[in-house]
Amino acid sequence: METKDGEEDRISKLSNTLLIHILSFLETRYSVRTSILSTRWKNLWACVPNLTFHLHSPPSYGFSNFIDRVLLLHDLPQIHTFTFTCNSIFDIKPNRLNSWISFAIKRRVHHLYIDFIHGLFFQPLNFPLSLFTCESLVDLTLGFNTCIVSNLPDSICFPNLKSLKIWVADPDDSLTENLFRSCPVLEVLFLRARLELDKDEDENDEVIFNICTQSLRVLRLYLEADSYDERCCFGHEVVIDAPALDDLLLDDNFMACYSINNVSSSLAIVHVDVGLFFWPRIAECDCHNRVLELLGGISNVRSLYLSSTTLRVSSFFFLDKFCRFIYKIVDCSDIFKNIIMLMNFLV
């Protein structure tokens, strides 16, 4: 077959399977447009296993209607990837979004990404309860940037889930225990937890994040409070027992109590950024050794990154002790040789 210019049309010689594979790399709005090329291309987009929708322009009912029509005409009984992103959660109606998620669940989706790019404030969102028992999911991202999952049930089941990125509000002690019990093969966890400060005084504000799992390799833990409150913040604990862990990031804007045990010698990289609210009131507190306790649990790491706030909190009352602690680690291993210059600068 030749084109109008007399050149050979190589694309037309490709099999439908290969053409569908090529279309799977395109955003869905563009793969649908290929239907006008010829009769052969008319329905190829409906066999693409990846559905990707990005709403970057101002909200449009037309775009939502387009998604509805695509899902109505899609032919495959199983979806590999379903992606929906837009600028803000306010750009889309929640019930419309949930209907799309339900469609993906019914089609036994493997990778589900729902996220909102921008937003000055967090926004709670209720997702379909059937989502939390979807056995086909391997990778799940739920509004990690600006959207909080407000209806995470006590009973969840993700037997095949390997990667989870989620933001929750006001968690309790059962959160991580239920999570790892329900996700036996989880390897990557990005967990953001927003801690409420307006509970009644007779309620137990202390939360223990018990991260004990044999399969976890990558952990990103973000703990957030609106403001520093000694009653609320100081009771929180993070217990990490993950022998397969090789990549760790800890970020909290107060100063939780960390206990890190049974971490593999293969731990490659650790980022620590703690104490943003803790720092201004550190003189009023008696927990100045928390960062040192944290560092003691990761002394075998190959690469360590400490934020400026973490260093200030660590060295407020005992700079000499902190420096001796770091020098001791350096003497025992070649891992931290490049931190000596930083210690000399602090002293």
Where does residue 213 rank: exposed (0-12), middle (13-18), buried (19+ CB within 10 A)? Answer: buried
Among residues 5, 190, 170, the alpha carbon closest in space to that of 179 is found at: 190
* pLDDT attached to residue 114: 92
Element (H, E) at 220: strand 218-225
Whether the CB-CB separation of 263 and 300 falls below 8 Å is answered with yes
Q: Is residue 323 part of a domain?
A: no
Res 71: pLDDT: 96
Per-residue pLDDT of the chain (347 residues; tens, 9 = 90+): 555 565 666 787 889 999 999 999 999 999 999 999 888 899 999 999 999 999 876 666 788 899 999 999 998 999 999 999 887 666 678 899 999 999 999 999 999 999 887 654 566 788 999 999 999 999 999 877 667 787 788 888 999 999 999 988 878 778 888 888 899 999 999 998 887 655 555 555 678 888 988 999 999 999 887 665 555 555 788 899 989 999 999 988 877 888 888 877 778 888 888 766 665 555 555 556 677 778 788 877 888 888 877 777 666 655 555 555 555 555 544 445 455 444 444 44
Rounded distance, CA 314 to CA 224, Å? 20
**pTM score, whole prediction:** 0.82
Residue 248 is predicted with a pLDDT of 92
- Asked, for residue 283, whether it belongs to a domain, the answer is no
Report the candidate in 306, 316, 302, 289 with the shortest Cα–Cα distance to residue 342: 306
- For residues 248 and 298, is the Cβ–Cβ distance under 8 A? yes
Radius of gyration of the chain (CA): 25
Question: Cα–Cα distance between 169 and 147 in angstroms, integer?
Answer: 10
The alpha-helical segments, DSSP class H, found in the chain are 16-23, 28-33, 61-73, 94-106, 174-182, 230-233, 290-296, 308-315, 319-332, 340-346
Residue 17's pLDDT is 93
Range of the domain at 202: 16-275
In what helix (H) or strand (E) does residue 195 lie, and over which residues does it extend?
A: strand 188-195
Among 237, 181, 231, smallest CA distance to 209 is for 237
Spatial contact of 238 and 207, defined as CB atoms under 8 Å apart? no
Domain count across the chain: 1
- Domain annotation covers residue 256: yes
pLDDT at residue 347, rounded to an integer? 45
pLDDT at 340: 47
Residue 189 lies in a domain: yes
3-class secondary-structure state, position 333: coil
Question: What's the one-letter identity of residue 298?
Answer: I
d(CA 278, CA 274): 8
- Report d(CA 141, CA 164) in Å as an integer: 6
Contact yes or no for 113/138 (Cβ under 8 A): no
Does a structural domain hold residue 24? Answer: yes
* Matching residue, tokens 């969840």: 156
Cβ-count burial 125-150 (b if 16+ within 10 Å, e if not): bebbeebbebebbbbbbbbbbbbbbe
In a domain, 116, yes or no: yes
**CB burial class (10 A; 0-12, 13-18, 19+) of residue 50?**
buried
